[in-house]
């Protein structure tokens, strides 16, 4: 089962924090208390994303746990469209500017290279969260249950693991990460919109396949490789061929990578070499 | 019916054509094509005339942006990977 609606969970988290960010920017609180503001933005995004993710699992996926594989797949696509259209209906279809605290505005130059101040913040936050997730999955009892359920749900159930509870915990963690990612993405690009979750959701799935489904270090490696390929790749590969707007073809690079990984290494870089879960 | 004649299998085959490793051939051609396109593209970009060539600060900037974008993908995809694995 592929949770295609995860991009929309991410989008709802970003939107939830947007309303706080807009109000705080209007009142001046965003710049007078930036750390407190950011903490509230992250907490609001996490709360909403977790709520949407758990609701998805309870309403859309749990009743179909033993259905043929195609059924939850179609449901996931349906849920994704439902959430996307709901967001368009309730929040409008136009993109909205996402205010940034002033200490994250502008660029910083290190070693002659200037980049946005938000970039290192996004990278550092992501690495910290990924390490925490890896430790959680490897060192805790619930993490061990998650690995057992991912390996073989029926055997895990026979060993006394409450599969439903473990799946809900997985969706809660997924929602938390999506909420954090939503705020970081909105801060990076300075905007939110009802369709903002679709392409990052597909790209993230590509990264998951590239790294290896079920492997957190693989997910991190896949994400970074894909991000760099999407950013550097169009210029590096296409500029020499005199393509007028190489950056517009970044999606071509992403999906070419997906197709090539599925052909040459369906298990991903750190995966098992099996393609069954995909 | 009793008079129906059942033709026995002739044992004919396509011979060497049947034993061709089609999948291997296609994958080899695809790999070669990827190397040509990727390698050729990188070479042509890096050897552009001086006026059109992009400086290293531009590449470094793109790399940092890519890392930041990748960090967001990593956050989303680790969750996608686990939800996929545990619900599969």
SS (H, E, C) B5-51: CCCCCCCCCCHHHCCCCHHHHHHHHHHHHHHHHHHHHHHHHHCCCCC
Give the pLDDT confidence score for residue A135 in this predicted structure.
Answer: 92
Domain that holds residue B81: 55-88
Domain identity same for A127 and A254: no
B80, pLDDT greater than 80: no
Give the pLDDT confidence score for residue A277 in this predicted structure.
Answer: 44
**Mean predicted lDDT score pLDDT of chain A:** 89
Give the pLDDT confidence score for residue A278 in this predicted structure.
Answer: 41
Indicate whether A275 belongs to any domain: no
When pLDDT is averaged across residues A105-127 and rounded to a whole number, the result is: 90
Domain identity same for A23 and A39: yes
Residue in A112, A185, A228 nearest the CB of B66: A228
Domain identity same for B41 and B67: no
Domain identity same for B59 and B43: no
When pLDDT is averaged across residues A53-72 and rounded to a whole number, the result is: 89
pLDDT category, A87, cuts 50, 70, 90? very high
Q: Return the minimum-mean-pLDDT range out of A186-200, A259-273, B44-58.
A: A259-273
Indicate whether B8 belongs to any domain: no
A148 touches chain B (CB under 8 A): no
pLDDT category, B37, cuts 50, 70, 90? confident
Does the pTM surpass 0.90? The reply is no
Which of A143, A169, A196 is the last residue before a domain boundary? A196
User: Domain total for chain B?
Assistant: 2
Burial class (CB in 10 A: 0-12, 13-18, 19+), B60: middle
CB atoms closer than 10 angstroms to residue A236: 20
User: Domain total for chain A?
Assistant: 2
Residues in chain A with CB shorter than 8 Å from the CB of B77 are 204-205, 207-208, 211, 219, 222-223
Domain identity same for B36 and B63: no
A80, pLDDT greater than 90: yes
When pLDDT is averaged across residues A70-74 and rounded to a whole number, the result is: 88
Domain identity same for A18 and A105: yes
Indicate whether B9 belongs to any domain: no
Indicate whether B5 belongs to any domain: no
Alpha-carbon distance B31 to nearest alpha carbon in chain A (angstroms)? 9
Both tokens assigned to A216: 């957190």
Q: SS3 for A2? A: coil
Give the pLDDT confidence score for residue A1 in this predicted structure.
Answer: 67
pLDDT tens column, A1-12: 678 889 999 999
A151, pLDDT greater than 90: no
Indicate whether B81 belongs to any domain: yes
Which of A196, A222, A251 is the last residue before a domain boundary? A196
pLDDT category, A66, cuts 50, 70, 90? confident
Domain identity same for A114 and A219: no
Residue in B27, B73, B88 nearest the CB of A226: B73
Both tokens assigned to B45: 């970009």
Give the pLDDT confidence score for residue A181 in this predicted structure.
Answer: 95
Indicate whether A277 belongs to any domain: no
Domain identity same for B85 and B59: yes
Which of A196, A220, A241 is the last residue before a domain boundary? A196
Residue in B68, B77, B85 nearest the CB of A222: B77
Name residues whose C-beta falls within 8 Å of residue A138's C-beta, 6 or more positions apart in sequence. Answer: none
Domain identity same for A266 and A229: yes
B78, pLDDT greater than 90: no
Q: For a pLDDT cut of 90, what percent of chain A falls above it?
A: 57
When pLDDT is averaged across residues A141-155 and rounded to a whole number, the result is: 89
Domain that holds residue A204: 197-270
Domain identity same for A181 and A207: no
Give the pLDDT confidence score for residue B87 in this predicted structure.
Answer: 60
**Mean predicted lDDT score pLDDT of chain B:** 81
């Amino acid at each position: 089962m592929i949770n295609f609606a995860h991009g929309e969970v991410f989008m709802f988290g970003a939107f939830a924090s947007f309303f706080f960010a807009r109000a705080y920017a209007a009142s001046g609180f965003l710049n007078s208390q930036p750390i407190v503001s950011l903490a509230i933005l992250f907490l609001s995004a996490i709360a909403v994303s977790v709520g949407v993710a758990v609701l998805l699992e309870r309403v859309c996926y749990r009743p179909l746990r033993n259905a043929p594989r195609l059924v939850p797949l179609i449901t996931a696509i349906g849920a994704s469209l439902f959430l996307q259209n709901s967001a368009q209906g309730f929040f409008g279809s136009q993109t909205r500017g996402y205010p940034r605290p002033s200490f994250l505005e502008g660029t910083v130059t290190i070693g002659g290279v200037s980049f946005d101040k938000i970039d290192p913040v996004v990278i550092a936050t992501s690495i910290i969260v990924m390490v925490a997730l890896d430790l959680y999955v490897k060192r805790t009892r619930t993490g061990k249950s998650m690995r057992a359920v991912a390996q073989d749900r029926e055997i895990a159930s026979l060993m006394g693991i409450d599969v439903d509870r473990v799946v809900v915990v997985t969706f809660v963690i997924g929602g938390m990460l999506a909420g954090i990612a939503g705020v970081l993405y909105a801060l990076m690009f300075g905007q939110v919109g009802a369709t903002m979750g679709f392409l990052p959701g597909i790209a993230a799935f590509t990264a998951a396949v590239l790294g290896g489904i079920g492997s957190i270090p693989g997910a991190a490696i896949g994400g970074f490789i894909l991000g760099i390929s999407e950013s550097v790749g169009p210029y590096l590969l296409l500029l020499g061929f005199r393509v007028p707007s190489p950056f517009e073809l970044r999606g071509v690079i992403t999906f070419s990578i997906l197709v090539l990984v599925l052909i040459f290494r369906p298990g991903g870089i750190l995966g098992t070499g099996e393609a069954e879960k995909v | 019916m009793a008079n129906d004649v059942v033709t026995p299998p002739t044992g004919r085959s396509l011979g060497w054509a049947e034993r061709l490793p089609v999948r291997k051939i296609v994958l080899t051609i695809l790999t070669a094509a990827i190397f040509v396109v990727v390698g050729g593209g990188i070479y042509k970009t890096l050897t552009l005339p001086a006026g059109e060539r992009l400086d290293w600060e531009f590449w470094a900037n793109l790399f940092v942006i890519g890392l930041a974008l990748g960090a967001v993908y990593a956050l989303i995809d680790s969750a996608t990977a686990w939800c996929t694995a545990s619900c599969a």
